[in-house]
Amino acid sequence: MTALAALIRRDIKIALRVGGGALIGVLFFLTVTVLMPFAIGPDMALLTRLGPAILWLGALLASLLTLDRLFTADHEDGSLDLIVMGRTPLELACAAKALAHWLAAGVPLIVATPVLGLLLNLDGTATSAVALTLLVGTPALTFTGMIGASLAVTLHRGGLLLAVLVLPLSIPVLIFGVAASQAAISGPLSFGTPFSILCALSLVSLVVGPFAAAASLRHGLD
Amino acid sequence: MTLIDLANPTKFLSLTARVLPWLAGATAILLLVGFYQAAMAPDDYQQGATVKIMFVHVPNAWLAMFVWGVMSLAALGTLVWRHPLADVAAKAAAPIGAAFTFLALVTGSLWGRPMWGTYWEWDARLTSVLILFLMYLGLMALWRAVDDPSRAARAAAVLTLVGAINLPIIKFSVDWWNTLHQPAAVLRMGGPSLDKAFLIPLLVMAVGFSLLFVTLHLAAMRNEILRRRVRSLQMMQASQQAA
Amino acid sequence: MRLSGRQIDCIRGGRGVFSGLDFEASSGEVLAVVGPNGSGKTSLLRLIAGLLVPAGGSVVLEGGEAELTLPEQSHYLGHRDALKPALSVHENLSFWRDFLGGKVGDVSQCLTAVGLGHATHLPAAYLSAGQRRRLSVARLLVVRRPVWLLDEPTSALDTAGQDLFVGIMRDHLAGGGIIIAATHAPLGIGARELRMGGGK
């Protein structure tokens, strides 16, 4: 356990210090959300209706873009070799890295949601519904995106190709995340159904993600 | 040692060289019979002659999913048994699967035009197939992005298996999303209540298209093996000149 | 303890790097892997470290801890130093101590032993190439592993650093360790040579 705790602590420290990616993710989220009204128009009623979708898309893109470097940074400086050789199972190490990434880059997105909700004319219920769905949904995004991040090690590059590979996999999370938020705001569905499915998706990705990432890393080193 | 590596593929090459003409012939005959029967099939009392699109659309849609299954098996072969032919099989299948998926989309869209009055409807099935198509394209991009074929094979294998787990989830999500946004039932095909006059040509076409896949896949695998041989010969040449 | 490889084939990117390679090293022994560029020295070390899969043959460690794999009992000191510039010298080393685990030593003592005692709280970004190498060497000391796989260990080290490193290697060998080192320069320590390439 000390090994995993040490890994999580290290990754969070790096993310929060100068040059780390955590706050850039929030900044990106903010910028995307601010851009939307310029594309749609300052129609407050329309923004209210589209608000949850805009916030979810912004969070999806922000978490994907910051994931890009999850493994490549460690690969470039040789840390990944030592992590693969270590006595901690690689699956657990991957899960720990993803958890650290979520804590450093995912949680700030959720914290920023209420502020952005104001800009999109969402009321208290709507904002808290979106924040709650992001809270249970963003782990799924992180743990699915981690698979793409591990492929980036083999590819020697990430960026666009990574987004092309990972975005289709995150469609279910997007569907149920937005659906649950909408359900809480306007109905007609109950909030519980899509929300439970969203939780289930997160749990599935918590299992699948580390295994797929570890398999890809083990085979992808050279 | 590269020659030892290719020992197994060599057997594969000589075997497929003998089998392929027969397969190609059988495919041609079955598809001809299938097209003839499809042309002769009666018009649907509701849909008219457009129902005949089904005879091409359904086998293609079926193969679109089947090919991903084949690739998943090959991916297991790559990751678990590290079999060199598995890499080749997975790589050769991806463009063919993408082509079937594309045909399923195009025929589905052509069928949708008279039925829904529009070429594209965010119908659950069409949407799922569209996502499947995107994933095929992503997989092909991944294959092209890595120079070393065995490294590309392992990355693609991971993505293929993750896709195999995710595709049913995506299908389920899209179905759910679709019923949420379109409570009115979209026109659906008859399913098992299909009349014999339609069913038999459909089955013939399905078998014909499956054989077409097998033929194309084997041919593509041969090409890929030969392409790798050329590559390793060129590499040997390069290292000889260096020495 | 004895580390041995039998009939190892290595293929990278479809190109054969070496084939039919045999080697062995026992406790207290240094195996110096020498040969021209591209002869597969680094590949051999990465293969022993479990970071590359051999196309044929196998590497076995006899007399180690039975429930651990060879990579789990090895230190790998590669070209890349596995340091995070954003973390301090002390943080870098204590992370690897906690992550690698097993029998561990004291971080500050190890930093003093490699001559970085004065810089423990500076960010690793401020270190020179030689100091970064010293910090990597400290990793070998802070966590005990019987097998050391060293890739050009003395590059970037000054004369004093090289002498220091020879002392560190001597201590490791005296404790029954095994060292496999890929090198161009003499290690400054008695070693068996494994000559790669050229012969083919």
Summarised one tens digit per residue, pLDDT across range B136-148 is 999 998 888 887 7
Residues of chain B neighbouring A222 (CB-CB closer than 8 A): 148, 151
Tell me if B158 sits within 8 A of A216, measured CB to CB. Answer: yes
Pairing, β C30-34 against β C147-151: unpaired
Residue C89 has pLDDT above 60, yes or no: yes
CB contact under 8 A, B1 and C19: yes
C36 and B CB contact within 8 Å: no
- pLDDT of B137 reads 93
Q: Predicted ipTM?
A: 0.91
Name the phi and psi angles at C33, rounded to 5.
-90, 115
Q: How far apart are CA C82 and CA C70, in angstroms?
A: 20
- pLDDT of C119 reads 86
**Contacts for A160 with CB less than 8 Å, ≥ 6 apart:** none
Sign of CA dihedral C115, C116, C117, C118: positive
Residues of chain A neighbouring B143 (CB-CB closer than 8 A): none
- Rounded to the nearest angstrom, the gap between the alpha carbon of residue A140 and the centroid of all alpha carbons in its chain is 7
B3 and C CB contact within 8 Å: no
**Contacts for A47 with CB less than 8 Å, ≥ 6 apart:** A36, A37, A40, A54, A120, A121
Encoding tokens for residue B24? 């190609």
- pLDDT of A30 reads 92
Sign of CA dihedral B106, B108, B113, B117: negative
- Rounded to the nearest angstrom, the gap between the alpha carbon of residue C74 and the centroid of all alpha carbons in its chain is 8
Least confident of B84-98, B149-163, C3-17: C3-17
A77 and B CB contact within 8 Å: no
Sign of CA dihedral C69, C72, C75, C81: positive
Residue B5 has pLDDT above 90, yes or no: no
Q: How far apart are CA B201 and CA B211, in angstroms?
A: 15
Higher per-residue confidence, C47 vs A192? C47
Torsion, Cα of A198, A199, A203, A204 (10° steps): -30
CB contact under 8 A, C55 and B1: yes
Tell me if A182 sits within 8 A of A119, measured CB to CB. Answer: no
Q: A146, A151, A208: best mutation site toward chain B, by most B Cβ within 10 Å?
A: A151
A222 and C CB contact within 8 Å: yes
- pLDDT of B120 reads 82
Residue-wise pLDDT for B103-143, tens only, equals 999 988 888 888 777 888 787 888 888 999 999 999 998 88
Residues of chain C neighbouring A2 (CB-CB closer than 8 A): 98, 101
Q: A2, A4, A8, A10: best mutation site toward chain C, by most C Cβ within 10 Å?
A: A10
- Alpha carbon of A37 to those of A24, A26, B138, B172: distances in Å? 21, 18, 31, 32
CB contact under 8 A, A154 and B79: no
Q: How far apart are CA A83 and CA A74, in angstroms?
A: 9
Tell me if A8 sits within 8 A of A96, measured CB to CB. Answer: yes
Residues of chain C neighbouring A71 (CB-CB closer than 8 A): none
Residues B204-213, mean pLDDT to the nearest whole number: 92
Helices (H), chain A: 2-16, 22-40, 44-67, 72-76, 79-85, 90-101, 107-119, 124-155, 159-166, 171-186, 192-220
CB contact under 8 A, A220 and B154: yes
Q: How far apart are CA A195 and CA A199, in angstroms?
A: 6
Return the number of other C-beta atoms located less than 10 Å from residue B14's C-beta: 10
Instruction: For residue B79, give the nearest of A179, A201, A215 by CB distance.
Output: A215
CB contact under 8 A, C100 and A86: yes
Residue B3 has pLDDT above 50, yes or no: no
CB contact under 8 A, B158 and A165: no
What pTM did the predictor assign? 0.87
Residues C173-192, mean pLDDT to the nearest whole number: 86
C15 and B CB contact within 8 Å: yes
- pLDDT of B182 reads 54
Q: How far apart are CA B122 and CA B219, in angstroms?
A: 36
Torsion, Cα of A84, C113, C87, A95 (10° steps): 20
Residue-wise pLDDT for B171-194, tens only, equals 888 888 877 665 444 444 444 456
Tell me if B47 sits within 8 A of B112, measured CB to CB. Answer: no
**First-last CA distance in chain C:** 31
Q: Which of residues 38-97 of C touch A (CB under 8 A)?
A: 46, 49-52, 68, 71-72, 74, 76, 78-87, 91, 94-96
CB contact under 8 A, B169 and A155: no
Name the minimum distance, in Å, from the CA of A188 to any CA of chain B. 10
Residue-wise pLDDT for A8-32, tens only, equals 999 999 988 876 677 888 899 999 9
Q: Which of residues 62-91 of A touch C (CB under 8 A)?
A: 76-79, 81-88
- pLDDT of B45 reads 67
Residue of B nearest to C198 (CA): B243
C18 and A CB contact within 8 Å: no
Percent of chain B whose pLDDT exceeds 90: 33
Residue of C nearest to A15 (CA): C86
Residue A59 has pLDDT above 80, yes or no: yes
CB contact under 8 A, B148 and C55: no
Tell me if A151 sits within 8 A of A96, measured CB to CB. Answer: no
Residue-wise pLDDT for C97-120, tens only, equals 999 987 888 888 889 888 888 888
Tell me if A96 sits within 8 A of A71, measured CB to CB. Answer: no
Encoding tokens for residue A79? 């840390």
Q: How far apart are CA B6 and CA B82, in angstroms?
A: 14
Helix or strand or coil: residue C38?
A: coil
Name the phi and psi angles at C142, rounded to 5.
-75, -25
Name the minimum distance, in Å, from the CA of C51 to any CA of chain A. 6
Residue of C nearest to B82 (CA): C55
Q: Which residue is listed with tokens 């979708």?
A: A53
- Structure letter (DSSP) for residue A89: -
